[in-house]
Amino acid sequence: MRIRGKNIPILELPGKVANHIKYKRESKTADKCSAKDMLHFKPQKKVSGNEKIQIAFIAQMPEVWDKQMDLFRYLLDDPRFDPVIIYVKQYDFVSKSISAAGKNEIAFYTELYGKDRVIDYFERVDLDLTKYDYLFYDRPYNHYLPEKLQTYQTRKTNRICLVNYCCRDGAGGFGYRDFARDTYIWFASTFPEYETHLADYTERPYNKVFDVGYPAFETYHALVTKEGKNRILWTPRWTLDESIGGSHFFTYIDNFIQFAKSHADMTLTIRPHPLMFDNLIEQKAITPAEVEEIKSRCADAGIRFDQNRIVADTFTETDILITDYSSLIKMFMVMGKPVLYCPTDVAVNEEFKELMHAMYLTSSWEEIEQTLKDLTAGKDDLKDTRNTMVSNILLRKRNTVAAIADILSADYRDNRG
């Protein structure tokens, strides 16, 4: 397998996003740096030279751990590595803060790997991050993290890595410039993402990007669907802003409730984006009382709100996915199952446009209802196209976690202190 790797530079931060993000900056802002200034951002620490490579995964959201899960397990079993998880309580959208008193979901990780492999960040005030050769983040968002863990701090002593929590399907580059500036090794989720980095960021010799495939595609491809039929999952997006995907939650919620009441032979589950209700409440698009009223109406109609932390557990009990713009599309498609995509005007890359030929594009409730009728009757016209896309695009690279481990090992070997 050929592994591509090349340097990348700083990424652009869109103004409309920047207005909502606050994080600590140094005297030079990333977007004003000259090539000479960029050298200031080079990680100062060589790797430790320990017998085993010390790796920490900064984890906040169990819902996105499926993108890191197979890699972490592989590193656990590989004698070259000694990985741990540093759990950080989630950002609170209401108080706009992160604190030790926040929602604690550390049990999700300790049940998987044991307490010896999971560190509670807020319980370890003496935690020495300098012992770790590499830091993996579960999301590229500094503004959700305590200051000590933001990359403008950790890049000084650690080599920052990313396997992104989502596939980059949008047109254009990655938006969170501060995180990208500090990332030492970026494992691209798609080939267009890899190409974008190569085209836009070429002048920094210490930032690397690799195209070795996306671990989650192999994770989901290996899942076995449990016996059942006519099980429908709807996954509305978190934002109403169509320029970044949009959400059809308000458009179709009444239709779905009525549909569930009149189709006892089908089961309907709703899995909103984990941040959807919090964001809609923050944007004053809905009130907490209205959220509870909608949930009550759904329960009366027999609709279930999904409680699984990782969507893989839900996908194994789902036959048909209805979704807004989301990287979940690819996770479900790689399992060989049909997707109804509710499109908006969001700009997408060429790879996603190609994959759209394997999706049922449904722009109205009438189209959704008819497509469901066809699929539940056994008429899946896109099955062959979907399988071809899975082989040619989503699974074009295999053994991804092994490739990532080898890249880390080689880098460690080349940079021993």
CATH of the domain at 63: 3.40.50
- Confidence class of residue 243 from pLDDT cuts 50, 70 and 90? confident
Identify whether residues 202 and 281 lie together within a single domain.
Answer: no
Residues 166 and 247 in one domain: no
Indicate which CATH number applies to the domain containing 284.
3.40.50.2000
Integer-rounded Cα Rg, in Å, for the chain is 22
Q: Are residues 150 and 282 in the same domain?
A: no
Stronger pLDDT, 206 or 53, i.e. the higher one: 53
Note the pLDDT tens digit of each residue in 85-112.
Answer: 999 988 765 566 776 656 678 999 999 9
Rounded to two decimals, the pTM is 0.85
Average pLDDT of span 185-195: 90
Q: Which domain, by its residues, includes 60?
A: 4-214+397-414
Count of domains in the chain? 2
Q: What is the pLDDT of residue 3?
A: 34
Q: What percent of the chain has pLDDT over 70?
A: 83
> Are residues 209 and 99 located together in one domain of the fold?
yes
Burial class for 58, CB neighbours closer than 10 Å (0-12, 13-18, 19+): buried
Closest to 214 in 3D by CA, of 263, 163, 258? 163
- Residue 30 or residue 411, greater confidence: 411
Same domain? For 266 and 345 the reply is: yes
CB 80, CB 405: distance < 8 Å: yes
Q: What is the pLDDT of residue 104?
A: 78
Do both 263 and 383 map to the same domain?
A: yes
Are 327 and 271 members of one domain? yes
3-state SS, residue 79: coil
> Is residue 30 located within the same domain as residue 166?
yes
Q: Are 181 and 10 in contact (CB under 8 A)?
A: yes
Is it the case that residue 189 has pLDDT exceeding 70?
yes
Q: What is the mean pLDDT of residues 391-411?
A: 97
- Verify that 233 and 252 share a domain, yes or no: yes
Mean pLDDT of the chain: 85
Give the sign of the dihedral formed by CA 235, CA 239, CA 241, CA 245: negative
Least confident of 2-6, 64-68, 166-170, 244-248: 2-6
Q: What is the pLDDT of residues 293-325, one digit of tens each?
A: 999 999 999 999 999 989 999 999 999 999 999
182 and 272 co-located in one domain: no
Q: What is the pLDDT of residues 126-153, one digit of tens each?
A: 899 999 999 999 999 998 898 899 999 9
Residues 146, 53 share a domain:
yes
Please state, in angstroms and rounded to a whole number, the distance separating the CA atoms of residues 329 and 322: 9
Do 207 and 232 sit in the same domain of this protein?
no
Integer Cα distance of 114 and 107 in angstroms: 9
